């Protein structure tokens, strides 16, 4: 008994020390850190890699440009001893980027030896970000130095997503690339592209060219080559891009070019979100089959999001054609929704994609195919039920960045809501099947967001979510995270992301710093082809 008590206290002390011991200003905090005793002055850094890869060379070039934000530091030729070579060793040259790829890395910094060792180029990208954060700018003598340390790191969750909504407001391609910069810096690895919605359809289709009549403007449209550039650019951060075509609800924009695709229900039409697809018409499914066959090859990911949220079945039953069809088929509204999801499964199978939906079909009583990945926006108790039914799930309900007051907490300063996102562990109140949680996604719905205010609404608040998804569950204390996040938000702003401060401090910035809403590297067409293996 005594032994157990001693052990208990030993564990307790270890946990407390583990928490208190966050000596590095790194976000998200790494899994294992062993501090070294030296601090090495640096004036220039050369990155070398044992493999040839266009994708990874973009990443190396990017970080080489980011290491030294102030260009008035004396250069390496004056003092060779502070010019260092960072050696990257990658054990596999397989660049396949899909769910579950190995992102782990080892980073060792000691006198005369600067080593990164990883299984994949994606682990090496995470390591370069950590390395960047270990470089300190010392304003007093206008110099840079790097902390000696040994880090062994890997993510807690393999799915760390961020949802961008380009339907409520069109977001220009260059701004999407800039957003990807900010997500990559924070070690997010999925861009969930909520690309169309009820109010606009900004995606070019060669099969159905009239779809873009549903765009806000002919200039507010993503071409196939825009999409390819986004997907290739994201790959240079190890970010998978997954499109969401939200159906059968929220489908009004499909009906602007092709009115026969959508239901007709005057009583509901005052709210554009209420208009679903007409599922009684077999041509609707032919259309979806052809359209998704055209679009899905632009996205190499095995997953494909088909929405499924906020279906208003009253619109179906108000449309006489649909009501007659339901009566003939003997369908309730739930049966009709079930019929839709079953047909959609056949289409997903034909394009070889795994379906993601929001939790709504399940709430409505639909049995989803067990392979379906369910993104839960409703609540933790819904999540528990979904996990217990055997589905794999993504957590989103606590991470709605568009909400001004998450989870009913009141903060005097709005940016302090980062703490609410930080507090939301995906497993809170989950008592069984928590290993069916693949991770989670922050969501930024864009009714009141466009390229002008996206940065300042998202950052620094989303840093808390990035850390919750990457770091160990025990790294969860606001007071310990705050100084690190303060340092990182300063670093982000020096890199051109408009991430503001959280407390009184001084963040020296470049005199000529411009917030550009542009990517930090421009890919050439030939690089895009090489990155996409085309």
Judged by CB under 6 A, the number of residues near ligand NAG is: 15
Site string for ligand NAG, 24-43 (x = CB under 6 A): -----------------x--
CB atoms within 10 A of CB 284: 22
Give the span between the Cα atoms of 6 and 8, in whole angstroms.
Answer: 5
- Residue 192's nearest CA partner among 138, 263, 240 is 240
| Contact range with ligand NAG by CB under 6 A, out of 48-56, 75-83, 317-325, 519-527 | 75-83
Site string for ligand NAG, 489-508 (x = CB under 6 A): -------------------x
CB atoms within 10 A of CB 169: 20
Q: Distance from CA of residue 480 to its chain's centroid?
A: 24
- Asked if 259 is part of the footprint of ligand NAG (rule: CB under 6 A), the reply reads no
Site string for ligand NAG, 45-74 (x = CB under 6 A): -------------------------x-x--
From first CA to last CA, the distance across the chain in angstroms is 65
Nearest-approach distance from CB 17 to ligand NAG, in angstroms: 28
Cis peptide upstream of residue 492 (ω within 30 degrees of 0): no
R_g (Cα) of the chain, nearest Å: 25
Nearest-approach distance from CB 475 to ligand NAG, in angstroms: 19
Q: Rule CB under 6 A: choose which of 55, 82, 130, 359 binds ligand NAG.
A: 82
- Asked if 139 is part of the footprint of ligand NAG (rule: CB under 6 A), the reply reads yes
Q: Are strands 159-165 and 190-194 parallel, antiparallel or unpaired?
A: parallel
Tally helices (H) and strands (E) across the chain. 17, 15
- Asked if 157 is part of the footprint of ligand NAG (rule: CB under 6 A), the reply reads no
Q: Distance from CA of residue 443 to its chain's centroid?
A: 9
Closest CB to ligand NAG among 226 and 420?
A: 420
Contact between 114 and 82 under an 8 Å Cβ cutoff? The reply is no
Closest CB to ligand NAG among 69 and 155?
A: 69
Q: Rule CB under 6 A: choose which of 21, 32, 81, 293 binds ligand NAG.
A: 81
Nearest-approach distance from CB 74 to ligand NAG, in angstroms: 9
Q: Which of residues 422-481 bind ligand NAG (CB under 6 A)?
A: 428-429
Nearest-approach distance from CB 128 to ligand NAG, in angstroms: 23
Nearest-approach distance from CB 401 to ligand NAG, in angstroms: 17
Q: Rule CB under 6 A: choose which of 142, 346, 453, 477 binds ligand NAG.
A: 142
Site string for ligand NAG, 299-318 (x = CB under 6 A): ---x----------------
Give the span between the Cα atoms of 193 and 295, in whole angstroms.
Answer: 13
Closest CB to ligand NAG among 18 and 508?
A: 508
Nearest-approach distance from CB 9 to ligand NAG, in angstroms: 28
| Contact range with ligand NAG by CB under 6 A, out of 76-84, 221-229, 335-343, 451-459 | 76-84
Contact between 309 and 358 under an 8 Å Cβ cutoff? The reply is yes
Q: Rule CB under 6 A: choose which of 37, 206, 219, 352 binds ligand NAG.
A: 352
Q: Which of residues 197-256 bind ligand NAG (CB under 6 A)?
A: 210
The structure tokens listed for 423 are 């507090």
Question: Alpha-carbon dihedral of residues 151, 177, 227, 446, nearest 10 degrees?
Answer: 110
Nearest-approach distance from CB 145 to ligand NAG, in angstroms: 8
| Contact range with ligand NAG by CB under 6 A, out of 79-87, 173-181, 230-238, 415-423 | 79-87
Q: Which of residues 376-395 bind ligand NAG (CB under 6 A)?
A: 380
Give the span between the Cα atoms of 460 and 66, in whole angstroms.
Answer: 19
Question: Alpha-carbon dihedral of residues 442, 445, 446, 451, nearest 10 degrees?
Answer: 0
Catalytic residue annotation: 310
- Which H or E element spans position 8? helix 2-20
The residues, ordered by sequence, that sit 6+ positions from 529 with a Cβ below 8 Å of its Cβ are: none
Give the span between the Cα atoms of 271 and 265, in whole angstroms.
Answer: 11
The residues, ordered by sequence, that sit 6+ positions from 472 with a Cβ below 8 Å of its Cβ are: 29, 31, 156
Nearest-approach distance from CB 508 to ligand NAG, in angstroms: 6
**Residues in the site for ligand NAG, rule: CB under 6 A?**
41, 70, 72, 79, 81-82, 139, 142, 210, 302, 352, 380, 428-429, 508
């Amino acid at each position: 008994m005594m032994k157990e008590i001693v052990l208990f206290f030993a564990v307790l002390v270890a946990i407390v020390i583990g928490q208190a011991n966050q000596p590095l200003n790194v976000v998200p905090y790494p899994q294992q850190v062993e501090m070294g005793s030296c601090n090495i002055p640096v004036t220039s850094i050369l990155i070398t890699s044992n493999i040839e890869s266009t994708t990874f060379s973009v990443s190396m070039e990017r970080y080489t440009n980011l290491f030294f934000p102030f260009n008035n530091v004396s250069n390496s030729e004056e003092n060779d001893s502070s010019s260092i070579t960072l050696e990257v060793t990658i054990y596999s040259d397989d660049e396949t980027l899909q769910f579950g790829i190995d992102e782990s890395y080892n980073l060792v910094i000691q006198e005369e030896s600067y080593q990164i060792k990883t299984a994949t180029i994606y682990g090496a990208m995470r390591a370069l970000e950590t390395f960047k954060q270990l470089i300190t700018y010392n304003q007093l003598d206008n110099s840079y130095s790097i902390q000696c340390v040994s880090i062994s790191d890997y993510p807690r969750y393999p799915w760390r997503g961020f949802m961008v909504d380009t339907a409520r407001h069109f977001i220009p391609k260059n701004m999407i690339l800039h957003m990807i910069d900010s997500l990559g810096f924070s070690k997010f690895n999925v861009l969930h592209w909520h690309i169309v919605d009820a109010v606009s359809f900004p995606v070019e289709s060669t099969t159905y060219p009239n779809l873009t009549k549903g765009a806000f403007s002919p200039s507010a449209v993503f071409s196939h080559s825009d999409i390819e550039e986004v997907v290739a650019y994201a790959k240079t951060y190890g970010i998978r891009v997954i499109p969401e075509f939200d159906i059968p609800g929220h489908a009004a924009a499909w009906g602007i070019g092709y009115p026969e695709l959508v239901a007709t229900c005057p009583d509901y039409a005052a709210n554009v979100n209420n208009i679903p697809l007409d599922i009684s018409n077999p041509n609707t499914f032919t259309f979806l089959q052809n359209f998704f066959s055209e679009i899905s090859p632009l996205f190499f990911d095995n997953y494909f999001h088909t929405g499924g949220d906020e279906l208003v079945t009253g619109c179906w039953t108000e449309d006489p054609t649909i009501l007659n069809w339901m009566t003939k088929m003997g369908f309730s509204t739930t049966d009709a929704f079930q019929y839709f999801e079953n047909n959609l499964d056949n289409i997903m199978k034909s394009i070889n994609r795994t379906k993601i939906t929001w939790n709504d079909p399940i709430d409505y009583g639909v049995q989803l195919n067990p392979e379906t990945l369910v993104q839960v926006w409703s609540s933790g108790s819904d999540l528990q039920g979904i996990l217990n039914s055997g589905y794999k799930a993504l957590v989103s309900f606590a991470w709605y960045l568009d909400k001004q007051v998450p989870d009913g907490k009141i903060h005097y300063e709005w940016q302090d809501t980062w703490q609410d996102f930080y507090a939301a562990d995906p497993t809170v109140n989950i008592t069984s099947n928590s290993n069916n949680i693949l991770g989670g996604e922050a969501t930024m719905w864009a009714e009141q967001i466009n390229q002008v205010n996206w940065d300042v609404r998202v950052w620094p608040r989303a840093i808390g979510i990035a850390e919750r998804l990457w770091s160990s569950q025990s790294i969860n204390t606001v007071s310990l995270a705050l100084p690190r996040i303060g340092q990182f938000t300063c670093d982000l702003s020096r890199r051109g992301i408009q991430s503001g401060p959280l407390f009184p401090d001084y963040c020296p910035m470049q005199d000529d710093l411009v917030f550009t809403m542009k990517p930090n590297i421009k890919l050439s067409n030939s690089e895009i082809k090489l990155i996409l293996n085309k």
